[in-house]
A and B are shown apart, each in its own frame.
Chain A
Amino acid sequence: MIRLTNLDKRYRTEEVETIALDKMNLEVKEGEFVSIMGPSGCGKSSLLNIIGLLDDLDGGSYLFNGIEVAKFNERKRSELRKHNIGFVFQSFNLIDELTVYENVELPLIYTKVNAADRKKRVEEVLEKMQIMHRKNHFPQQLSGGQQQRVAISRAVVNKPKLILADEPTGNLDSANGNEVMQLLTDLNEQGTTVIMVTHSEHDAKYSHRIVRMLDGKTVTENILL
C-alpha cells in the first residue's frame, strides 16, 4: 500500500539545517498494523506527516497504492487524503466549538456526502464507539478517553483505507489507553491499515510489526506475529 524509497526530509532555519529523514525506506502492506518507535527527534512524526500527505518531502519516492504522490500539489494531496486517510492525534485535535456529532460529521461535509447519509454514518460510528449518548456534548465536557474515542470516530467515519495515529494514548491513563488500542486493533482486524507512532512498548505490542528509528533512519524492524 505504501512504499517509501530513499525518503529525505530536512528542516531549515536561518542558520541550522536539521535532517529529519535520511534516505529512509519503508513498505507497509494493506491490512498491516505497524508501530514506529524511537527517541524524540528521530523523525517519527516527520515520517507520519509525510505518509499522511501533510508535509512535502525533499527527496525520494512515495508510492501510495502504486501511485507516485511525491510531486502532488496541495489540492491533489488534500483530495487523496480526505478519501483515504484518517488521523488520530495525541492531543485529539477536536474542534472546541463543535459538538461530538458535528466533529465526527466534519470529514463527511468536506467529502460532500449528503445530509441523510451523513446522519446515518455518524450515528453508526458513534454507536460503534459507544459515545452516542454524548453526541450533543462539546469536547471540553468529555473525559480524555471519550475525546479520543470521538477523534477515532472522526478518523474512521469516511471509511479510510489507512489510519495514522500519532501517540494516540499519550494523553490517556492506562485504562483509557488500552481501550483506544483495542479500538485500533478492531479497526485493523476489519481491514484498515494502521500506522502508529508511539513511545510505549506496551502499545506497540498491539501491532504486527515495530519499526525502530534513529536519526531519520530505520535501525531495526521486529515482526511480532
Chain B
Amino acid sequence: MIKNYIKIAWRNLLKSKLYSAINIIGLSIGISACILIGLYIHNELSYDQFHLNSNNIYRASMVYSTAGPVNEAAVSGSKVGPEFKRTFPNVMEYVRTYVTTSSIKKGELVFDENKMLFADSVFFSVFSFKLLAGDSKTAIDAPDKIVLTQSSAAKLFPQQNAIGEILRYGGSDYKVSGICENPPQNSQIKFDFVISFSNLGNAYKTETWWNANWVTYLLIDNQTNIDQFENQINAYMDSDLVREQTGSMDPNFLHYRLEPFNKVHLHSKLEGLEPNGNIQYIYIFGIIGILILLIAGANYTNLATAQAMGRGGEIGTRKVLGATRNQVFSQFIGEAVVLTSVATVFALMITLFAIPFFNNVSGKSFVFGDVLSFKVLILGPIFALIISFLAGIYPAVVLSGTKALTAMKSSFELAKGNGNVLRKSLIVAQFSISIFLISVTAIIISQVNFLKKTNLGYDRNHVLVIPMNQKISENYELLKPAIQNVIGVSAVTASYDTPEYVAWGDGISATGANGPVEISLNAMPVDLDFAQTLGMQFAAGRDFQKYDFDLMDTTNNSVNYKLPYIINETLAKMIGWTPEEAIGKTIEHRALGPIVGVLKDFHFQSLHQSIGPLLQFLDKNSSRKLLVKMDGGQMKETLKGLENLFAARMPGQPFNYHFLDDDYNKLYLSEQRTTSLFKAAAFLAILLATLGLFGLAAFMTFSRTKEIGIRRVLGATLFSISQLFVRQFIFLIVVAVVVAIPMAWYAGNYWLQDFAYKIELEWWHFALAGTLVLLIAVATISYQSIRVCLLNPIKSLRSE
C-alpha cells in the first residue's frame, strides 16, 4: 500500500511539473532558512555550555554608585576573586581574565593581532578547554609559561612540536607549556595564547577593589543558593572594614552581582570579554524562520487544494474501488511527504551554498560539517515530516472526506467552497507577512541610514586610530610632532577612549547655582589637540593648552596640584551653569581644578543612549589610542608616510591602524545584522508568496480556459480579461495591507524604542511595501491571464 502511495505521489510530482517545482522551490527555501536559523539558535543557546563546570561558574559583575546613579560593569578589581575565596568557603576557585590584542615574536618573526589571554593558573581546571599537550594543572602556573591554541601552534610552528619552544612577548621570554584545542565559536572566552595573570604586574601583586579592568569568574559550590550568597557578599561589601577599603561611604556602595556564566551571552547587558548576543535576536530569528516556512507551507496547501479540481475522478474511482477514508487520507499525506522529502534534499544543498551569506548576516562562522551534523540530518527529516503533515492535512481531510460520487461528478466543487475560503485566507496571510517584513525592513534601513548620517558633533571621517603599545607610548612625545609633519596629516592627539564610545565611568563634585552637587558621568583622559583633531566645537572657553600642564604641579607634595577640565554642555546644565558661566569655575574630580572649556554636546556613545554628562581631563599617560586626522586628499601617500615613519622610529614594530569610522560602524553591528536579516527575509517572503501566486494564477486561468475562449470569441479585450482575474486578487492584497500595517507599525515602533535618537515612522514605509506587493501581484496574475488569452480561442474552447 505504501509503495503504491509513493509511486503515485512520485508520478503526480512529475506530471504537474510547474506546481511541483513551485512547491519544491518554496519548501526547500523555507526548510533551508529554518535549518540555518535552527543552527544559529542552537549555537546561541549552547553558548558556554560545553564546560563541565558550566552550571557552577558565575561572573562577578560590579554594581556601584560613586555619586548618585547606580552603574554596572562586567569587569571588576583584582581583589574580588582572591578576597571572596579567602572569605567565603563556597567560592571554590576564581579566575581573573584579561584579553588584549598584541604581537608575539618567534625569533625575529613578529606575529600580529593575536588574542592574548591573561588568566589565573587554575584556568584550565575551572574551564573545560581541552589541553592536547601539557598538564592542565601546571600549564600556566608560572609567569614564563605560555599555552597555544592548535591553530596558533600550527601558525607559529608548522609541522613542528611547539612544546618547549620559546616565544617573546612584551619584552619577556615564554616557554610553550601546552597546546589546547581552539576555543569553540560558542565560547565567550576566546583566545590564541594564554599566559599567567601574574604577568600583569601590579594588578597581580597589588589587589585592588577598583581599577576594574578584569573579568572575574568564580567557581561556586553547587549547593549554594546564589540569591542568598549574593546578599551575603553584598552585606560583606557594606561592612565598615570593606567600605573603608573601597572608599564607598554610605550612600555610595560597591556591590557584586553573580551572573550565571552560561547565561551571560544571551541574557546579560554587560559586555565582558566579547560583545554579548541578545535573546531578542533568538526570538526574531525564530519568528522569521517560522514565517518563511508558513509562506512555503501555505503554497503547498493552496496548490494542492486547487489541484484537487483535477483529481476528483481519481479520488472517486479509488473510493468506488473500495478505498476507505483513511486510505485516501494517507495517500495525500504520502504525497506531501514525498514532496517534502525531495524539498529537504534540495534544502540541504541550498543550506550548504547559503552558509557564507548566512555567516555574514549572523556573524557566526558555520561550516559544512555543522549542516551535515548528526542532529541536522536526524532532526531535519523529522521536522520535514511535521511540515508535510501540516501542509498536507487540509487537502487530505477534504479529499478523503468527499463521497465517491461527489468527487467523480463535481471535482470543481472541491476547489470551491471551504477550499476557496482557505486559499484566500492563506494568500492574505502570505502577503500580510511579506508586507510586514518589507515595511519593517524599510523602517530598519531608514534608522540605520539615520545612524550613519546623524551629525555626531565631531568629524569621524579620515581619522586614523592607532592602538598604542608600550613602544608607541614610550616614544609618544617625539612621535607626535613627527606624525604632524607627514604630508596630509592635519592634527594628532591621543586619548584613553575613541570618541564614539566613552566607557570610563566616574564622578565629580561641584557647587552650582543651586548648591553642591555630585554627578556620575563618563570621563576621558585626553592629550592636547583632542577637540581640534576631531573637529569638536566649543560652546564657551577653549581647548587644553600646553601651559595647562603647569597647573599640574607635583612639587611640594602636590599641594598646589590642579587639574584643568573641559566639560560638555549637558554637564554644565546639570551643575546649573550656562556654558559661559562654567568657564573658570572649579570642580573636583581627581583633584580640584578649573573648567577651561565647554564643548558642544557630541555623541560619545551609541545613539541608543541620550547624551549624558562628560568630563575631559588632561592626562596623556593614560592614552591607549593615537588619533591622526588626515585631510583626506592623498590618503595613500599619507598612510605610506606614516608607515615609513613608524618603521624608521620603531623598527620591528608592526604598524597597525584602523579608521574611526570602522569603530563607529561597529557600534551598530547588530543593527546592520538585523538589516541584512530582514532584507533577506523580506526578499524570501515576497519571492515565495509570488511563486505561490504564480502557480495559483496559472491554475485559475487554466481552469477557466474555456470561459476565456468564449469571452474572446465574443470580443473581450486582453485588458478586460486580465482585469477579471486581477480584480479578485487585488481585494485580497488590500486585506493583506490592512492586516500587515498595524503589525509592522507596532513592530517598527517596538524596535525603535531601543534608540534615544530615532526616525519617525513615515507613511511611505508602509505605502512602499503595500504598493510593491500589489504591483508584483498584479504583474504575476496579468502575465498568467494574458498567456491564456493569447491562445487561439478555438483551442481554448476545445480544452474541455
Residues of A within 8 A of B (CB): 49, 52, 54-55, 74-75, 78, 81-83, 87, 93-98, 102, 106-107, 109-111, 154
Contacts and interface: CB of A to CB of B under 8 A. Distances in A.
Contacts of A87: 320-321
Contacts of A94: 317
Given A93-B313, A93-B316, 5 more contacts: A52-B320, A82-B321, A94-B317, A102-B4, A110-B318
Interface string B1-22: 1001001100110010000000
B15 A107 contact: no
B318 A95 contact: yes
Nearest to B408: A93
Given A97-B12, A102-B4, A49 B405 contact: yes
A93 to B, nearest CB: 5
Contacts of B1: 109
B405 A55 contact: yes
Contacts of A93: 313, 316-317, 320, 408
A81 B316 CA distance: 14
B317 A95 contact: yes
A96 B320 contact: no
Contact of A107 (B4, B7, B11, B321): B321
A52 B405 CA distance: 11
16 contacts: A54-B320, A75-B324, A78-B323, A82-B321, A83-B322, A93-B408, A96-B15, A97-B15, A97-B314, A98-B8, A102-B4, A106-B4, A106-B318, A107-B322, A110-B322, A110-B324
A138 B217 CA distance: 73
Nearest to B15: A97
A55 B409 CA distance: 12
A110 B327 contact: yes
Given A93-B313, A95-B317, A96-B314, A110 B323 contact: yes
Contact of A78 (B319, B405, B408): B319
Interface string B323-355: 111010000000000000000000000000000
A78 B405 CA distance: 12
Contacts, number: 59
B404 interface: yes
A9 to B, nearest CB: 12
Main secondary structure of the interface of B (DSSP, over half): helix
B320 to A, nearest CB: 5
Main secondary structure of the interface of A (DSSP, over half): helix
A82 B322 contact: yes
Interface string B553-590: 00000000000000000000000000000000000000
A207 B7 CA distance: 40
B322 A78 contact: yes
Interface in B6-41: 7-8, 11-12, 15
Nearest to B404: A54
Contacts of B8: 95, 97-98
B403 interface: yes
Given A98-B8, A110-B322, A74 B314 contact: no
A94 to B, nearest CB: 8
Given A97-B11, A97-B314, A110 B405 contact: no
Contacts of B320: 52, 54, 81, 87, 93
Contacts of B319: 78
A52 to B, nearest CB: 8
B20 to A, nearest CB: 13
A94 B317 CA distance: 8
A154 B7 CA distance: 19
Contacts of A83: 322
A106 B7 contact: no
B313 A78 contact: no
Nearest to A112: B1
A138 to B, nearest CB: 9
Contacts of B322: 78, 81-83, 107, 110-111
A74 B403 contact: yes
A103 B405 CA distance: 19
Contacts of B12: 97
A171 to B, nearest CB: 14
A54 B12 CA distance: 26
Interface string B369-412: 00000000000000000000000000000000001110010000
A154 B321 contact: yes
A106 B316 CA distance: 13
Nearest to B314: A95
A27 to B, nearest CB: 24
A111 B322 CA distance: 7
Contacts of B7: 98, 102
Contacts of B314: 95-97
Contacts of A106: 4, 318, 321
Pairs of residues from A and B, 5 with the lowest C-beta to C-beta distance, nearest first: A82-B322, A110-B322, A97-B11, A93-B317, A107-B321
Given A49-B405, A96-B314, A97-B314, A110 B15 contact: no
Interface in B285-340: 313-314, 316-325, 327
A74 B318 CA distance: 14
A149 to B, nearest CB: 16
B4 A109 contact: yes
A154 B322 CA distance: 12
B8 to A, nearest CB: 5
A1 B481 CA distance: 117
A43 to B, nearest CB: 15
Nearest to B317: A93
A78 B324 contact: yes
Nearest to A115: B3
Contacts of B313: 93
Contacts of A52: 320
Contacts of B324: 75, 78, 110
A94 B314 CA distance: 8
Nearest to B323: A110
